[in-house]
């Protein structure tokens, strides 16, 4: 590992521990030439995942898009940031466990809706109204009836 200060390749690890997310390792390193310390993170390399959108365009998977949608659905609801992060982690785990290189956005949306349904009803309906593109009140009401019947 090159030193970011003097570009020397003569560095060594002096401390290693799991990072906060428990999905990476935080390493403190020491440069033997200049004596400065720096931190690096080591993370498991995942296969690049491509999302197939509704209009058949493709784009690289972006976790922040799922987070953004869930955050908007949970706005002003009694749901903690930890619960939201756990939901997104669960969806992401299911996606990557499929070990596919391409995944339809519709599948991601359904996974998020399933998790939201268990977490909070209002957040679920909010997400579903955008995801399923409710055109009128009748389709909205039919989704609410499905929720109430269960």
pLDDT in tens, 56-65: 999 999 999 9
Tell me the per-residue pLDDT of 16-35, one tens digit each, with 9 for 90 and over: 998 877 778 999 999 999 99
Confidence of residue 99 (pLDDT cuts 50, 70, 90): confident
Q: List the structure tokens of 104.
A: 């339809």
What is the rounded distance in angstroms from the CA atom of residue 107 to the CA atom of residue 97? 13
Angle at 59 between CA 53 and CA 64, to 5 degrees: 90
Q: What pLDDT is recorded for position 147?
A: 73
What is the rounded distance in angstroms from the CA atom of residue 142 to the CA atom of residue 122? 15
Q: What pLDDT is recorded for position 87?
A: 94
Q: What pLDDT is recorded for position 109?
A: 93
Q: What pLDDT is recorded for position 130?
A: 83
Q: What pLDDT is recorded for position 110?
A: 92
Q: What pLDDT is recorded for position 146?
A: 79
Largest CA distance in the chain: 71
Region for 133 from its dihedrals, namely left if φ exceeds 0, alpha if ψ lies in -120 to 50, beta otherwise: left
Q: What's the gap between Cα 91 and its chain centre?
A: 7
Q: What pLDDT is recorded for position 129?
A: 83
């Amino acid at each position: 590992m090159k030193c970011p200060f003097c570009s020397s390749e003569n560095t060594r690890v002096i401390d290693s521990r799991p990072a906060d997310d428990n999905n990476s390792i935080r390493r403190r390193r020491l440069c033997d030439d200049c004596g400065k310390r720096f931190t690096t993170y080591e993370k498991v390399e995942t296969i690049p995942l491509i999302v197939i959108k509704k209009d058949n365009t493709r784009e690289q998977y972006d976790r922040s898009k799922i987070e953004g949608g869930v955050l908007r659905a949970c706005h002003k609801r009694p749901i903690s940031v930890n619960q939201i992060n756990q939901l997104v982690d669960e969806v992401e785990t299911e996606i990557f466990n499929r070990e596919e290189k391409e995944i339809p956005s519709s599948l991601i949306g359904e996974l998020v809706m399933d998790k939201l349904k268990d977490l909070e009803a209002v957040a679920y309906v909010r997400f579903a109204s955008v995801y399923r593109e409710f055109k009128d009140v009748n389709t909205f009401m039919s989704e609410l009836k499905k929720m109430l019947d269960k």
